[in-house]
Structure 1
């Protein structure tokens, strides 16, 4: 019997710090459905952001997971087994203040470690931060080099998506 469980993605957005390779992207998570077609595909984004008041955790409902304007790419990393458990885990992660080395990327790496330790919120998954980060940087770098983000028309297209579970591109 085929599974239609929601999927967990790593998301990359431009950070505004283009001259620093390590801080070039803003990192987060996205939850969306397995089946994606041409219709509107709702989901949600989960991340931490730095504001004048410090780091804050944010959950944002998305009307369409494929066409979020600022999104550069999605990296599929897991099939979700227990979505509420996963969301609860993300909500409980520490949001560190006053540490200049802590940022969104640190939070994502910490979340992946906690998801792996939990062992119940996701099934088939790639949760190794070093593999995910290398894959995501390479994928977005290749898309940038090929001109994928140059025109305004490209920003409204479905976003490039790499499937780490099947090691293939699923949305060009």
Structure 2
């Protein structure tokens, strides 16, 4: 992409079924600045799967998936943290972010934190950006809490179908309610 239409990078929070509503699955989404119906992007994240070699053991896997950018029942919100300058470098950097096995304290949130630090450190993946983890994490949690208070997730209100609540951290404003 060229000019001001560079793809955007988001921190995305997903609902976790059956668990505390204030805990989330964290991921990174990359998509076009201007979203169109049927638009697609990529989700990068770490998730647990059963280890096929050891019954009952869960291991962390890295995934890079082509995804539709429309609202899903589990995607709660996105926080735009920057513009993508180099897709190939971004994908290479994210694939190299370590995953810590057999540590119950290690989570997908830690992977996203480490991924953002790695993108900042590579100096090539991102253009204009906010990579301060405390600011990103606090904004994301506060934004989802505000959407919950506004009853965005329970079918109430007049939200535009198929849209994902989105906050632009560069401009510090909501861009999709």
CA distance in 2, matches of 1:117, 1:95: 18
Partner of 1:157: 162
Counterpart mapping for 1:1-172 below 5 A: 2-16=3-17, 18-19=19-20, 21=22, 24-37=23-36, 39-53=37-51, 54-63=59-68, 65-151=69-155, 157-172=162-177
Equivalent pair of 2:16/2:74 in contact (CA under 8 Å): no
Flag the structure with larger Rg.
Answer: 2
CA distance in 2, matches of 1:154, 1:49: 30
TM-score, normalising length from structure 2?
0.87
Segment drifting more, 125-134 vs 51-60: 51-60
Q: 1:17 to 1:25 in 2, by over 3 A?
A: farther
Aligned residues: CA RMSD: 2.1
TM-score, normalising length from structure 1?
0.90
Task: Give 1:80 deviation, angstroms.
Answer: 0.4
Task: Give 1:59 deviation, angstroms.
Answer: 1.4
SS at match of 1:124: strand
Instruction: Extract unaligned runs of 5+ from structure 2.
Output: 52-58
Equivalent pair of 1:161/1:171 in contact (CA under 8 Å): yes
CA distance in 2, matches of 1:20, 1:35: 30
CA distance in 1, matches of 2:32, 2:3: 14
User: 4+ residue stretches of structure 1 with deviation over 6 A?
Assistant: 152-155
